Structure 1
Amino acid sequence: MQQDMLGRVALITGAGNGIGRETARQMAARGAIVGINDLKEEFVEAAVAEICESGGNAFGVVANVSTREGMFGAVEAARAQGEGFDILVNNAAWVRYQAVPDIMDETMDRMLNIGFKGVIWGIQAAAAAMDPERGGAIVNVASTAALRSTLNSVVYSGIKSGILGITRAAAAELGARNIRVNALCPSAVPTEGTQRNRNAERDAARIARTPLGRLGTVTDIARGICFLASDSAEFISAQALVVDGGSTFTNI
């Protein structure tokens, strides 16, 4: 793999497993110094060990990035690892699918704090840490649910739709500092976190309506994130890249 991120400092939130962990693997393989953030220390330690054993450069950041203090601390910990701060991937989320009558304050507040407010705190912290001339890249992980919703997803779809608005507004404001802000919208992919919402029948239905004929993988999604964070996307900002095998904008 090309070393097109050599020496760049990145922080990936919610990277203990799933999409975040695979993104960390790929960025480290491309030469980045990668910060692995998660609330669970054992996940962080395992991810860091795996990358370092493979010859990559990774470090752990155990922090609650749903709070402003936690996010600023995580970004500062990453910045201290190199000669600046270059890439933020706002990936952390906590998800519960609930029908409208079942939505409660506690569930909604936790989803909003991690998946919506955390993205704003991340953008704020990254903008403060990035060199005003060198700039940087921010990638916010949204979802195809921001574009086409499913049952029992009022809060989730609302948050992911909001991320697209946040992305565009931040791109407009931060572009003068050479900070690019983009979003990536993955379809449902098999991860540890999505197991509770998956079964063989549901997977078969998703495959049937996907033109490319398979479910996506964390590798597919991580490649898209790495592209948006790389110099290959140096004139791309305020965009939402859909990585879904063609399922959102077709009807088969």
Structure 2
Amino acid sequence: MDNDEMRVVVVTGAGRGIGEAIARRLVDDGWFVVAVDRDAASVERLSADVSPERLRGVAVDVTDRAAVFELFADIDRDQGRVDAVVNNAMWVRYAPIVEMTEELLDGMFAIGLKAAFWTTQAARPAMVRRGSGAIVNVSSPAATRGFDGSSAYSAVKGAVSSFTWQASRELGPEGIRVNGIIPGAVPTPGARAVVDEEGYEIRRTMNGLRRLGTPEDIAAGVAYLLSPDAAYVNGHLLNVDGGL
């Protein structure tokens, strides 16, 4: 399959957890995946495990607008297209409102929200040129529910949901679909840094299936939103949460 036939997707935060599962699922679905993470070692490991004809790992700080635009220009030049983006990157720190520092707040908004603006801006020209494209933003149940210590995280994910709806209106006429996915509780290494076993037991009992999610569950939802089966789905937030 040459570059003219293989769809190209950029997945941010692809070095581990849900992002890695998304990257692997999309490779299996026939995409050429550009797996982006600021941790070079993680994407190098992923690249070594997947054929270079199907996946390229790149270490990029997605909060750096110039670096993001340079990345997408490189992809468009090398692959001849950019068909989709999955904005998965996030940095999570829980703290009470009164203890939230400027550094923590700025860091979460930069990675979780501003980076989604930069990738959307950078991907748009290649998508407009082809008359089609798809963007999936990863939000959270915390966008609409209160959880102890999650004020900053909830604010970021609430903004991501709002950005998804707005972008779907602005970019839809150009053939670019913008949707979001809302994962339920998935005990990835990153998530376990802020949620303990007691917290996960509570989350397990809160949903109808009475089980925690897996990264592959979330990847399947993303795969659907990027697939031809979702060609008329735009501005939608897909809950993949076991019935939370």
- Normalising to structure 2: TM-score of the pair? 0.94
Partner residue in 1 for 2:200 = 203
Structure 1 contact 9–79 (Cα < 8 Å) conserved:
no
Partner residue in 2 for 1:99 = 96
Shift of 1:207: 1.2
Structure 2 contact 179–237 (Cα < 8 Å) conserved:
yes
| Superposed CA offset, 1:193-246 (max 9, x none) | 111123322222111121111000100001111111111100001111111000
- 2:180 matches 1:183: yes
Number of residues of Structure 1 aligned to a counterpart in Structure 2: 240
AA paired with 1:198? V
Of Structure 1 and Structure 2, which has the larger fraction of its residues in helix?
2
AA paired with 1:124? Q
AA paired with 1:97? Y
Partner residue in 2 for 1:42 = 41
Looking at structure 2, the residues matched to 118 and 183 of structure 1 have their Cα atoms a distance apart, in angstroms, of 15
Looking at structure 1, the residues matched to 121 and 129 of structure 2 have their Cα atoms a distance apart, in angstroms, of 14
- Point out where structure 1 has 5 or more consecutive residues left out of the alignment: 1-5, 248-252
Secondary structure, aligned partner of 1:132: helix
Looking at structure 2, the residues matched to 200 and 155 of structure 1 have their Cα atoms a distance apart, in angstroms, of 22
Partner residue in 2 for 1:134 = 131
Secondary structure, aligned partner of 1:37: strand
Partner residue in 2 for 1:123 = 120
Partner residue in 2 for 1:71 = 68
Looking at structure 2, the residues matched to 30 and 23 of structure 1 have their Cα atoms a distance apart, in angstroms, of 10
- 2:152 matches 1:171: no
Shift of 1:133: 4.1
AA paired with 1:30? D
Partner residue in 2 for 1:250 = none
Secondary structure, aligned partner of 2:56: strand
Q: Residue 87 of structure 2: which of 87, 90, 93 is its match?
A: 90
- 2:189 matches 1:192: yes
Secondary structure, aligned partner of 2:218: helix
- 2:28 matches 1:52: no
Shift of 1:51: 2.0
Looking at structure 1, the residues matched to 78 and 27 of structure 2 have their Cα atoms a distance apart, in angstroms, of 14
Tell me the percent identity: 38
AA paired with 1:7? M
- Are the structure 2 counterparts of residues 92 and 174 from structure 1 closer, same or farther at C-alpha, using a change threshold of 3 Å? same
Shift of 1:77: 2.8
Structure 1 contact 132–177 (Cα < 8 Å) conserved:
no
Looking at structure 2, the residues matched to 94 and 177 of structure 1 have their Cα atoms a distance apart, in angstroms, of 31
- 2:232 matches 1:227: no
Structure 2 contact 128–175 (Cα < 8 Å) conserved:
no
Looking at structure 1, the residues matched to 26 and 76 of structure 2 have their Cα atoms a distance apart, in angstroms, of 16
Shift of 1:188: 2.2
- Point out where structure 2 has 5 or more consecutive residues left out of the alignment: none
Looking at structure 2, the residues matched to 57 and 80 of structure 1 have their Cα atoms a distance apart, in angstroms, of 17
Partner residue in 1 for 2:9 = 10
Question: How large is the Cα RMSD of the aligned pairs?
Answer: 1.4
Looking at structure 2, the residues matched to 43 and 80 of structure 1 have their Cα atoms a distance apart, in angstroms, of 25
Structure 1 contact 140–163 (Cα < 8 Å) conserved:
yes
